[in-house]
Structure 1
Amino acid sequence: MTRAAVATSYGGPEVIEIVDRDLPEPSDGEVLVEVRAIGVNPFDYKSYSGSFGTDATKLPIALGSEASGIVVAVGGAAVGSGGPIAVGDEVVVSGKNGTYADGILAPARFVFPKPAALDWNVAAGVLAVAGTAYDTLESVGVTSGDTVLVHGAAGGVGSVVAQLALDRGATVIGTARQQNHDALRAFGVEPVEYGDGLIDRVRAAAPHGVDAAIDTVGTDEAVDVSLELLTDRSRLVSTAAFDRASKDGFLTVGGPESMERRRLASPVLLEQAGAGVFEVTVAKTFPLADAGKAHAELQSSHPRGKFVLIP
């Protein structure tokens, strides 16, 4: 038996309820994980908001796609990216629906070794943002010597995009609110303010031009400025501006190819996080029972970093 948070109907955070669910013994190739922490992401509340439709046959909707915990049972030969999985292993689960629970049954392919240097809360929130960040960088081929404009560079995905781009040897210009500029400078990013005059501020910060742009906010401002600065729009990718991308002919991420690329990169990304190549900040933790409250706060002005649920 496990306690799980699910959306029982479509609407706002008030539709989330805590329910009891049976957990069968793991079949061959599956593992049972006792959850220590759960990552919260914007997709979690979008899944029941009506953004993707309101098909009643999909209710109740299991929430969440990432968590950290300890393996408590293994079915047959369960082999993950780090080799055979054993009872007692500290792991990260990513890409498996329904992680808002105190126990998760997951196929071994979604289970990755947790680096000892990462605490439970950070480990639970790493792969959704890092996988997306890696995906964007690969999509536009960021490499050493590039100057990269990152829109939303202080956000969950944007901050990891910036750090991984710097690790590749790129120069990074990052758009952010003034209050986040010092944090970006600490990473090595040149911050610029959103709003009127953005393109002039970017040109001043990158007098030799911009080679690639990564948009994590989806605003017309981000898209328009990027298109004007770039000579090759195939080097613009967005995680959010899907309508503009179909109209203006630049890249987006999030399809099946993206998901597989992120899964394959997950072991390396976890190693990099454990080694301090990039950091993911945990802004706030909530009890699992307060998942609705976490979603409400995540949709409003909130501290920089990830929200995490604790079973």
Structure 2
Amino acid sequence: MSRAVVYEKFGGPEVLELREVPEPHAGPGEVRIRVAAAGLNPMDWVLASQPEAAARFGITVPSGFGYDLAGVVDEVGDGATGFAVGDRVLGGALGRAVADFVVVKTPAEGFWPTPDGISNEVASTLPVAGMTAAAALAAIDLQSGDTVLIGGAAGGVGVFAMQLAKIAGARVIGTASEGTFEFLRQFGAEPVAYGPGLADRVRALAPGGVTAATDLFGTETAEAALALGVPPERISTIAAGPNAPGGVRATGGFDADPAAMKHITDAILTGDLTVPIAAIFPVEQVREAVELQAGRHVHGKILITL
């Protein structure tokens, strides 16, 4: 037997249960990953608590939980390609990441080798947040010399977006609550308070103008950027859905260039990008981990170890 976090009905953290389940094995064209760590994202608890959101991703109950994971390939089925037993990998398995074992078909899209020098814990935080940040910046063709406004800069995606924008040579202004200003400054961003009057505060901070923007939370930053004269094609959103202002580019991690992951891991290895880890929970405490994640008051990633 092996363990997996599952839920049989939609709801809050209380619906999550750690259960013994039959141990899965790699079939033809598949590999099995022994999961070491699973990184949490807001979408995980949204899918577990909101049936409408889950339906959009094809998730029905009963379901497993989580997406981001890192671990080691420990079984390779006949005809499987791309990975060998003993390979360290990171990637995503929708609705089944928080488990001792995950079986995936090959070629395994959405999986990458974990480089030496990057721990499983750090690797497990990268797939959703890292690739979503990369997609958000690629959608606006961020260039050296840009002044970019990043909405929701203190969040899980924002931490990556700030640093990737700095690596690209941009000036970064990030929206956040005043209590997180020092956190943003640690990553080279200039903080500005979100809320009514955002465009005026940004104008005072950057009288020379803003040239690009990405909104990682809703629509407030995108609307402020439009008010500041940023062309809509140089504004991206990841969470606005149908509410995105006209002409603004909606994107997400699935739009990212697969090569972006190597750019991210290379930057981690050179020290140009750091991943703040706020909390690590054993899988037995998955409910506490999700409760902390859902509170949205933590700066940095929350992850579960198995």
- AA at the equivalent of 1:229: L
C-alpha RMSD over aligned residues: 2.2
Report deviation, 1:53: 5.3
Q: What's the TM-score once normalised by structure 1's chain length?
A: 0.89
Partner of 1:161: 161
* Corresponding residue SS for 2:210: coil
Q: How does 1:205-216 map to 2 (within 5 A)?
A: 205-216=205-216
Secondary structure (helix, strand or coil) at the match of 1:166 reads helix
2:67 touches 2:96 (CA, 8 Å); kept in 1?
Answer: yes
Percent identity for Structure 1 against Structure 2: 36
1:292 aligns to 2:287 (yes or no) = yes
1:230 is aligned to 229
Per the alignment, residue 23 of structure 2 pairs with: 23
1:40 aligns with 2:40: yes
1: CA distance between counterparts of 2:116 and 2:184?
26
Letter in 1 for 2:221: A
Gaps of 5+ in 1: none
Question: Using the alignment, how far apart are the partners of 2:217 and 2:111 within structure 1?
Answer: 29
* Partner residue of 1:101 out of 85, 99, 102: 99
Closer, same or farther in 2 for the Cα pair 1:136/1:51, shift >3 Å?
farther
Equivalents in 1 of 2:24, 2:255: separation in Å?
Answer: 27
Q: TM-score, normalised by structure 2?
A: 0.90
SS of the residue 1:58 aligns to: coil
Q: Distance in 1 between matches of 2:48 and 2:225?
A: 32
Does the alignment pair 1:120 with 2:120?
yes
Paired residue total: 302
Determine the C-alpha separation between the residues in 2 that align with 1:111 and 1:250.
Answer: 29
Task: Choose 208-217 or 295-304, whichever is displaced more.
Answer: 295-304
Structure 1: distance between partners of 2:289 and 2:87:
29
Whether contact under 8 Å (1:30, 1:78) holds in the other structure is yes
Task: Output the amino acid matched with 2:157.
Answer: V
Match of 2:137 in 1: 137
Q: Distance in 2 between matches of 1:97 and 1:280?
A: 24
Note the C-alpha offset of 1:98.
0.8
Is the CA contact (8 Å cut-off) linking 2:132 and 2:256 kept in structure 1? no
Seen in structure 2, the aligned counterparts of structure 1 residues 230 and 39 have a Cα distance that, compared at 3 Å, is same
**Corresponding residue of 1:241:** 240
State yes or no: 1:310 paired with 2:293: no
Aligned to 1:5, the other structure's residue is in SS state strand
1:64 maps to what in 2? 66
SS of aligned partner of 2:28: coil
Aligned partner letter, 2:250 = T
Q: Which has the higher helix share?
A: 1
Query: How much does 1:302 deviate?
Result: 3.0
| Residue 182 in structure 1 maps to residue 182 in structure 2 | yes
Structure 1 counterpart of 2:77: 75
